Chains A and B, each alone.
Chain A
Amino acid sequence: MIDDLQLARAVREAALATTGVHSMGTGRYAEAATYGAGEKVTGVVVDPDEVRVHIVARYPLAEPLPALAERVRERVASRAEGRPAMVVVEDLEVEQNENL
């Protein structure tokens, strides 16, 4: 049984390792993070009954957003200790070499 902070770190790592994810989101009105002693993991909110992952997608997209979010959800679910995973796409970040 791992603690919330360890779980958040593992989930964050899995999300960032997914192709198409630019970075973790930080939340809009309230910070999306998991807090521990002297540390916080931004972009992952670990609740007793759910794990919520906030991502920023890389643009241009290699696949539609629902497919990317679903892939992230699948990857994250395996590290979520049986809790349902929810993925929130917060933004799209345009690559620097893209002239959009």
Chain B
Amino acid sequence: MRIFNRIIVVLLLAALVALGIATVFYAFDLAGYRLANLPNALGLTGVVQSFSSFVGNVESGNLNPLDYVVLGAIALLGLILLILELKPPSPRRVRMQEGTYITRSAVRDEVSTATENNPEVLQSDVDVAAQRRPGAKVDVTASVRRGEDTSRLQSEVRNSVQEHLGRVGVPVSNLNVRIAESDPRQTKTRVK
């Protein structure tokens, strides 16, 4: 989100620079540019008229419901962007202890290994999120053949992942295991 905000700010500043230069020309009637001709030159006569009437209505407090909705939406959008900008970014690495971290990809590899050790699992998709507190949030989707006992497999995969990560010492604060029935022709492994 910070990148999105940065792009918006860069575009805004670029537009302000362009507008500022144009305003200097038009404000001082340089090179034949006159401020009164600006809306015509931009082809925005209608927009300028409606905007000026809108601002006039705002000033006089004479707004229709649509104006309230537009102003409310602008204020809400600004508030959302402000909150997202102020929100501290989520950490990139999984914290183990004070001053010691492990990368998300290393955790992903370990979870994947533990999941695919189960002979019935044909493929695993692992998503690891780091948190500010110690431990990773891990979401595992294990693909199995149709007709397998999914609840048993879910418990087996969960146990093997917990056991493996416990042995390695990677702290996990939240482990979600999902079993997905898949066509073996579309998975990484067809037969084990």
Contact = CB atoms under 8 A, between A and B. Distances in A.
A92 B169 contact: no
A14 interface: no
B186 interface: no
Interface residues of B, number: 18
Given A66-B100, A73-B100, A61 B106 contact: no
Q: Give the size range of A's interface with the partner.
A: 20 to 34
Interface stretch (B43-51, B55-63, B91-99): B91-99
Contacts of A100: 113
B93 A91 contact: no
A65 interface: yes
B106 A91 contact: yes
A89 B103 CA distance: 6
Q: Is the interface of A mostly helix, strand, loop or mixed?
A: mixed
A20 to B, nearest CB: 11
A25 to B, nearest CB: 8
A58 to B, nearest CB: 12
Interface in A10-57: 28
Given A65-B170, A66-B171, A89 B101 contact: yes
A87 B101 contact: yes
Interface of B: 93, 96-97, 99-103, 105-106, 109-110, 113, 167-171
Interface of A: 28, 61, 63-70, 73, 84-92, 100
